[in-house]
Structure 1
Amino acid sequence: MSSNTFTTSSFSYSTSSSSSSNGEQTTGHRSTHQSNTDPVHGTTVQSTSQNLGEPAVQETRHYDPQGRELLEGAGSGGGAAASRRIEDVTDAQAERDAQYEERMEDEYAKREGGA
């Protein structure tokens, strides 16, 4: 009994740039997106993006044949992928900064009160 298998691939590339009329400011961005799908091994998606003057950022994601994302180190037989969490650290940093400023104000108030 023979089985028909197929593999599909796609690739896209985009780039953009602009500069100001005085020629001093130039901005640009480029990105690539490549997807390879195999019914047995699943899908691999590779993305790269780069802003002009900055290092390129690469990301590779793997999906099982059912479309579930496989996390690094989860292995191919790991079943459903563990969830990822995105945390906004800007709020936490702002809170730490506010606490620091409050402590500094208290310290200055102690020194001024004792003078």
Structure 2
Amino acid sequence: MPVSYTYDYKSTQSTSTPQGTSSRTVHATPSGTTISSTQQPAGGQATTQTQHYPAGGNQGASEPETLSKEEAERRYLEAMEDEYAKREGGA
């Protein structure tokens, strides 16, 4: 019987300064990755920007997806964590 794996990864990073606050949440599931960024200037209105990247695709674009250095590093680290988890689990 084939073995299937599912995963759910969520990470949040927040920063507060006298100028305001910001946070970034990355939520990865088998269906894709969602990145939400929230900015709130001191005494101002919060704004949130959300992007979803479907699993196994690049949002239907005809050109290859361009990643920021941070996003490429994040994806690499997640892939390495998954690989080590497979090895530790004996899979």
Normalised-by-shorter TM-score class:
0.5 to 0.7
Rg (Cα) greater in structure: 1
Which is bigger in relative contact order (C-alpha 8 A, separation at least 6)?
2
Distance in 2 (alpha carbons) for counterparts of 1:81 and 1:33: 28
Residue segments in structure 2 that go unaligned for 5+ positions in a row: 64-91
Distance in 1 (alpha carbons) for counterparts of 2:42 and 2:8: 34
Change (3 A) 1:67 1:11: farther
For 1:38-80, what per-residue CA distance to the aligned partner results, in whole angstroms no more than 9, with x for missing partners? 1x31001111001112101111110011362x4xxxxxxxx22
Equivalent position of 1:5 in the other structure: 6
Secondary structure at the aligned position of 1:6 is classed as: coil
Shift of 1:2: 3.0
Equivalent position of 2:28 in the other structure: 37
The alignment covers a number of residue pairs equal to 62
Equivalent position of 2:54 in the other structure: 64
Q: Tell me the TM-score normalized by structure 2.
A: 0.59
Change (3 A) 1:8 1:81: farther
Matches within 5 A, 1:46-85: 46-66=36-56, 68=58, 70=59, 79-80=60-61
Q: Aligned Cα RMSD in Å?
A: 2.0
Structure 1 residue runs of 4 or more that deviate by more than 4 Å after TM superposition: none
Identity of aligned residues (%): 29
